[in-house]
Structure 1
Amino acid sequence: MSKETLAGIAADLRAGRAVELSSADFPCFSAEALKGNMHVSPDDLGKLSAALTAEDAPTFERAARAMAEGDLAWLGFKVVFDPAAAQANTDNEVTKKYGDTGSADGAGMVFFCNDAKEIVSARTPSPRDVFQMKDITRGPGMHNEQFDGLTWLSVPLFNQVRVWLLGASDAAAEVSALAAHVGFAVTAVDYDPAYLSPERFPDAERVLLDGGNFDELDKLTPASGDYVCVLTRGHMFDPEGCVWAVKHNVRYVGMMGCKGKNSTVHDLVLARGASEADWERIKRPIGLKFGAKTPAELAISIVAELVDVRYTQRYSPEARARHEESLGR
């Protein structure tokens, strides 16, 4: 997805030209993303495309502007598979009341929504639709299957955070799967193809180093907003990983290991030119503390911390305070 693609769609719609949205640009409609979903198929993107008119151009223009401005925003899709059920009022004693109108006109729709809850769409949504449109800001939707007859999909208009996994350990393989599942872009690095295999890291970009060690790590350059998890097999190359991460001043770096091992790594990291301040930037041990022991449990701990760091990074102190208050914390 690019702002140029969105602007091009808007221009075609304003000129009265037919557009065909692609699952390559809107991967929430890919066969992989919809696997097991009996209500939606990739064909639904074609149906939504065919229904677009010039009135939808402002939605795509606003989405393009959001990408240009780095806004925390989404392009959403209302997919209706049973119009009568979608329009029926299904309020009960549990759900919040949304009036006597169900899902507007029972037709599909493309819309824009950002974290400030600004909504742009070609048609006026019903109160129930607005509730679900706003919910895509929880990405892609906290209650997308709540009401009968329709569902909601979305694509983020901001870049994924990249997580570098230094080492193809068992814990790293578990982290890779979980991190990809919650929306991170994952790059796994190791020198042994037997460990850094497609089977162990199916959702990650894999970087195979030559030389039987991590000397070639210096040929790689992370972005300043990236996260680094130092998870080398047997901790053998943890010092190299830590030095590489702090040298590039990444947003977050964490290292797995016990207190005694970390003391040794500390001395090796400083001997390689890092400062004491650099060392203090490294979260050690990596992950939230809740008694995790196995690789899978450790991965839950680590990815939970990554999610928390990403949450803090994306939202203002005011927005976080409102969220914490809503949770009663």
Structure 2
Amino acid sequence: MNRETLTRIIGDLTEGLTPELTAEDFPCFSAEATEGNEHVSPDYLDVIARSLDKSDIATFERAAKAMDDGDLAWIGFKIVYDPEAAMSNTDNEVTKKYGDEGSADGEPLVFFCNDAKECVASRPYSPRDFFQMKDVTRGPSMHNEQFEGLTWASVPLFDSVRVWLLGASDASSEVAALAHHVGFDVTVVDYDPAYVNESRFPDAHRIVLPGFDELDKIKADDSDYVCVLTRGHMFDPEGCVWALANNVHYVGMMGCAGKNERVYELVREAGMTDADWERVKRPIGLKFGAKTPAELAISIVAELVDVRYRQRYSEEARAKHEASLGRS
């Protein structure tokens, strides 16, 4: 989400104008995101835009403040395709009971929701609406299509975590696809354009360097994650040194114990300490017997998701979440 987009929408609504809403600004309405869903399409953004008025300014102002504060928060959308069904749907024997009221009305709605379950909207919403509005904090909603007549979508108001893939190996290509799918911003780095191409990495930023000895020409942030996946492990030492020198939040490396010992020696020769080396997760990924590039990618991305979860949520919040799922 672009902060200037919110400012523009607030300005248009203040002037009594219908703001322009685009799928570029709200990618949950893109052709890719809505493909195969006959209940919603990119054109629905025009319906939402026409529904907005000055009463919605507070929603967008709260979203702008959340961006300024760096909160985990979302702009959400109620999408109505059958107003009568949306208002009259009922719980079944499985769902938690939210009363006899369906959705509060049969009109589209833009709302704000953050991870603290604060919701801001221009109109009253029903208990069942609130249940689904809160669920956008899983972004996108886990239960967005639970009830008939309406569905829900959301756009995060915070940046995606950037994952650097050092090396354009087959495993790296598989990791790039999965990591993008679960919301990471992926950048792949290698020296051979035959491997760093759109076909292998269609959803990643691609950087081609003359060699891994020139990694110092690019910089990572301390909030970034790094996966060292060079082809044949030949440049893993350079990748580890670069990640540690940039003090990234997470760095992991593939490889067996024997190979890792030699990488350790080379990393130490490059000036890194034993404490630095201990920051490298090795081997990268969760342990469940993965062997093929695709299986390794599942293992690696699962670990990235877990690292992101622990980074964003306190121990207390995680314990509460696990308890709600019946896990000790």
TM range (shorter): over 0.9
Residues 125-168 of structure 1: CA distance to partner in whole angstroms, max 9, x if unpaired?
11111000000001110001111111111000000000000000
* 8 Å CA contact 1:144, 1:153 repeated in 2: yes
2:225 corresponds to which letter in structure 1?
Answer: Y
Q: Report matched runs for 1:32-47 at 5 Å.
A: 32-47=32-47
* 8 Å CA contact 2:90, 2:100 repeated in 1: no
Q: Secondary structure of the equivalent of 1:288? A: coil
> 1:318 maps to what in 2?
316
* 8 Å CA contact 1:2, 1:67 repeated in 2: no
1:297 to 295, 307, 311: 295
* 8 Å CA contact 2:165, 2:226 repeated in 1: yes
> 1:125 maps to what in 2?
125
* 8 Å CA contact 1:81, 1:150 repeated in 2: yes
1:89 matched to 2:124? The reply is no
Query: For the aligned residues, what is the CA RMSD?
Result: 0.9
2:98 corresponds to which letter in structure 1?
Answer: Y
> 1:228 maps to what in 2?
226
> 2:265 maps to what in 1?
267
* 8 Å CA contact 1:3, 1:65 repeated in 2: no
1:72 matched to 2:75? The reply is no
In 2, Cα distance between the equivalents of 1:4 and 1:151?
27
Shift of 1:23: 1.2
TM-score between both structures, scaled by the size of structure 1: 0.98
Shift of 1:89: 2.6
> 2:107 maps to what in 1?
107
* 8 Å CA contact 1:88, 1:102 repeated in 2: yes
> 1:258 maps to what in 2?
256
1:242 matched to 2:240? The reply is yes
> 2:174 maps to what in 1?
174
Shift of 1:193: 1.2
Shift of 1:15: 2.5
Q: Structure 1 segments of 4 or more deviating over 3 A?
A: none
In 1, Cα distance between the equivalents of 2:202 and 2:5?
28
Q: Secondary structure of the equivalent of 2:281? A: coil
In 1, Cα distance between the equivalents of 2:231 and 2:90?
53
- Once the two structures are aligned, what percentage of the paired residues are identical? 70
What 5-or-longer segments of structure 2 have no aligned partner?
A: none
In 2, Cα distance between the equivalents of 1:318 and 1:66?
22
TM-score between both structures, scaled by the size of structure 2: 0.98
In 2, Cα distance between the equivalents of 1:20 and 1:8?
9
1:277 matched to 2:275? The reply is yes
* 8 Å CA contact 2:90, 2:101 repeated in 1: no
Alignment coverage as a number of residue pairs: 327
In 2, Cα distance between the equivalents of 1:90 and 1:225?
44
Once structures 1 and 2 are overlaid, which stretch shifts more, 29-38 or 112-121? 29-38
Q: Secondary structure of the equivalent of 2:31? A: coil
2:75 corresponds to which letter in structure 1?
Answer: L
In 1, Cα distance between the equivalents of 2:275 and 2:9?
49
In 2, Cα distance between the equivalents of 1:324 and 1:102?
29
2:212 to 203, 211, 214: 214
> 1:156 maps to what in 2?
156
In 2, Cα distance between the equivalents of 1:89 and 1:296?
41
Shift of 1:7: 2.4
In 2, Cα distance between the equivalents of 1:3 and 1:206?
26
1:26 matched to 2:42? The reply is no
* 8 Å CA contact 1:3, 1:63 repeated in 2: no
Q: Secondary structure of the equivalent of 1:32? A: helix
* 8 Å CA contact 1:172, 1:299 repeated in 2: yes
1:50 corresponds to which letter in structure 2?
Answer: R
In 1, Cα distance between the equivalents of 2:118 and 2:316?
17
In 2, Cα distance between the equivalents of 1:272 and 1:155?
43
Shift of 1:85: 1.2
